[in-house]
Amino acid sequence: MSGPGVVVVLRAWIRNFRETHFFRLKLAVTAAKRRRMTRTRFIAITGSSTKSTTSAILRRIVSERHTVAFNEFSNGISSIARTIRKAPQDVDFVVLEVAAGQGTSVERGAQLSRPHVAIVTMIDLEHYSAFRTREAVAHEKGHLVAALPADGIAFLNADDAYVMSMAARTSARVVSFGLGEGADYRATNVEFDMQRGLRMSIIGPTRSLDVSAPLFGKHFYLPVLASVACALELGIPDDEIVAAVASYQGMINRCGVLPVDKGPVFVCDTQKAPYHSVTLPMDALAGTDAPRKTVVIGQISDFPGNAQRKYTEAISFAGSIADRVYAVGPNAHKGKAKFEREGVEFARFDSLEALAAHLRETAIEGEMILLKSAQNLHLERLAISFLAPVRCWSELCGQSGSCFGCRMHGIPRSEQPMKRGARHRLRARLDDGKAVWREGSLFARYMAMSADRRPPKL
């Protein structure tokens, strides 16, 4: 075997060793660490949608008086294990998002974390490629509830029959939340507008709370309700809950509102776009007051059946509430424009760069522009292009997360470092202002994104 061949075989052996034996060792170390964390309360959250927002709101609430460790955005078994290993031995709470994917990912996460509290937000076909049916999704996510001890608490969505069926899998106390009359914690008077955000009343078994949050759309009632119900059961004071929820501004790529000075107002819903919830931000847009409304549709995911029909339905619904509807990306050709309203402008764009140029030429002050897509298209670049130079217009760059977190949108893709370490080092230099690319950039003015931070105004 030649020299290059030996190197390839050696690299493959090292990779296999890390993915099997070394990974098992890390899980064993994590399990031992978890057994020693006897005073820490573990809260695990799963669901087809809203688990990240529920986790972010809940930890915002409990962190007022307690120490909290958590995983964020990365919610697989490796992230769960890493969070537990790095958590201080005496941390008060560990709040974990537990995702379902290929294999028994929720079951493994539940066995490793051994939660005292489990929250299940909803069940839908957001994992269609892996599970195919809602029943299969519910079975997998139900492992989190089944792992609870007898003195634990399961918080279940009373409006979702698949979620409520999980009550039969545990001897722990079950607390329900939802909109219906039978829920232990019920959301009422749910309202939304651009001036005051989301507002709602939460009626519990012993008391009620009026809460508000600067979130875009009524659909955010679910993570707010789930996190508040959990906080109340944990004994968090009412005033701390109300203040923490009011201060939570959401995540920039999950219906984050990004206004441009003397320009349009972007709503960036560019992290996920499962078909079952694709119209929710459009409903919120319908209730806003704006001189013009535009919806940009990129990649829709997680659905069975005919793709052309799904894209057509999404485009048609967008046309029922917006003045302009644009489709962009590799699937832009799949949907048809069938509008009941007259005068709706519709166009397809193969290139995100071309659409950005069109928006910069035609957008008017105060116009609401909703960007809706799965994250692989990085539609947030349309908004960023109004604030800073964008030179990375790669259609499918392969990077996970948003461009707000990547912060390399001002560097052509062909000139970006490919290796993870080199990218981290460049980001650090861009963050502290030591790196300026070519003609100059505004990278130093962007901050690392997290659930609790938003980009500053430029």
Amino acid 420: pLDDT: 77
Cβ atoms within 10 A of the Cβ of 243, count? 14
Amino acid 133: pLDDT: 81
The C-alpha atoms of residue 281 and residue 370 are separated, in whole angstroms, by 8
The C-alpha atoms of residue 194 and residue 288 are separated, in whole angstroms, by 6
Is the predicted pLDDT of residue 351 greater than 60, yes or no?
A: yes
Tokens 């509290």 belong to: 117
- Confidence label for 456 from pLDDT (cuts 50, 70 and 90): very low
Asked whether the beta carbons of 384 and 368 are under 8 A apart, the reply is no
Instruction: DSSP letter for 433, please.
Output: T
Amino acid 348: pLDDT: 94
Higher pLDDT, 294 or 339: 294
**Which of 78-82, 165-169, 399-403 comes out lowest in average pLDDT?**
399-403
Is the predicted pLDDT of residue 80 greater than 70, yes or no?
A: yes
Amino acid 294: pLDDT: 96
89: left (phi over 0), alpha (psi -120 to 50) or beta: alpha
Amino acid 339: pLDDT: 82
Encoded amino acid at 343, one letter: G
First vs last Cα of the chain: how many Å apart?
A: 57
Full DSSP string of 230-246: HHHHTT--HHHHHHHHH
Which of 319, 322, 362 minimizes the C-alpha distance to 339?
A: 319
Asked whether the beta carbons of 455 and 252 are under 8 A apart, the reply is yes
Instruction: Output the six-digit token pair for 216.
Output: 């875009």
- Confidence label for 448 from pLDDT (cuts 50, 70 and 90): very low
Full DSSP string of 25-48: HHHHHHHHHHHH-TTPEEEEEE-S
What does R_g of the chain's alpha carbons equal in angstroms?
Answer: 23
Instruction: Output the six-digit token pair for 179.
Output: 């909109």
Instruction: DSSP letter for 377, please.
Output: G
pLDDT > 70: percent of the chain: 86
Encoded amino acid at 261, one letter: D
Cβ atoms within 10 A of the Cβ of 18, count? 12
Full DSSP string of 124-135: -GGGHHHH-SHH
- Confidence label for 449 from pLDDT (cuts 50, 70 and 90): very low
> Across the strands, what pairs with 188?
201
Asked whether the beta carbons of 271 and 253 are under 8 A apart, the reply is yes
pLDDT tens for residues 204-253?
A: 998 899 999 999 999 999 999 999 999 999 999 999 999 999 999 888 88
Amino acid 453: pLDDT: 36
Amino acid 244: pLDDT: 94
Asked whether the beta carbons of 409 and 384 are under 8 A apart, the reply is yes
- Confidence label for 442 from pLDDT (cuts 50, 70 and 90): very low
Amino acid 9: pLDDT: 58
Amino acid 332: pLDDT: 84
Cβ atoms within 10 A of the Cβ of 415, count? 11
The C-alpha atoms of residue 222 and residue 56 are separated, in whole angstroms, by 13
pLDDT tens for residues 136-179?
A: 888 888 889 999 999 999 999 999 999 999 999 999 999 999 99
- Confidence label for 451 from pLDDT (cuts 50, 70 and 90): very low
Intervals of CATH 3.40.1190.10 along the chain? 35-247
Average pLDDT of span 305-317: 88
The C-alpha atoms of residue 121 and residue 57 are separated, in whole angstroms, by 13
Contacts of 9 by beta carbon, 8 Å cutoff, 6+ apart:
1
The C-alpha atoms of residue 399 and residue 374 are separated, in whole angstroms, by 13
CATH node for 254-396: 3.90.190.20
Is the predicted pLDDT of residue 117 greater than 50, yes or no?
A: yes
Best-predicted range by mean pLDDT among 175-184, 248-257, 295-304, 399-408? 175-184
- Residue 11 CB burial class (10 angstroms; 0-12, 13-18, ≥19): exposed
pLDDT > 90: percent of the chain: 46
- Residue 179 CB burial class (10 angstroms; 0-12, 13-18, ≥19): middle
- Confidence label for 373 from pLDDT (cuts 50, 70 and 90): very high
In 234-306, alpha helices (H): 238-247, 280-286
Asked whether the beta carbons of 220 and 255 are under 8 A apart, the reply is yes
- Confidence label for 16 from pLDDT (cuts 50, 70 and 90): low
Intervals of CATH 3.90.190.20 along the chain? 254-396
Average pLDDT of span 184-192: 95
Asked whether the beta carbons of 393 and 352 are under 8 A apart, the reply is yes
Does the global pTM surpass 0.95? no
Cβ atoms within 10 A of the Cβ of 223, count? 28
Is the predicted pLDDT of residue 184 greater than 80, yes or no?
A: yes
The dihedrals phi and psi of 316, each to the nearest 5 degrees, come to: -65, -40
- Confidence label for 10 from pLDDT (cuts 50, 70 and 90): low
Is the predicted pLDDT of residue 440 greater than 50, yes or no?
A: no
CATH architecture of 35-247: 3-Layer(aba) Sandwich (3.40)
Instruction: Output the six-digit token pair for 201.
Output: 């009343």
Number of H helices, E strands in the chain: 16, 15
Instruction: DSSP letter for 166, please.
Output: G
Amino acid 271: pLDDT: 87
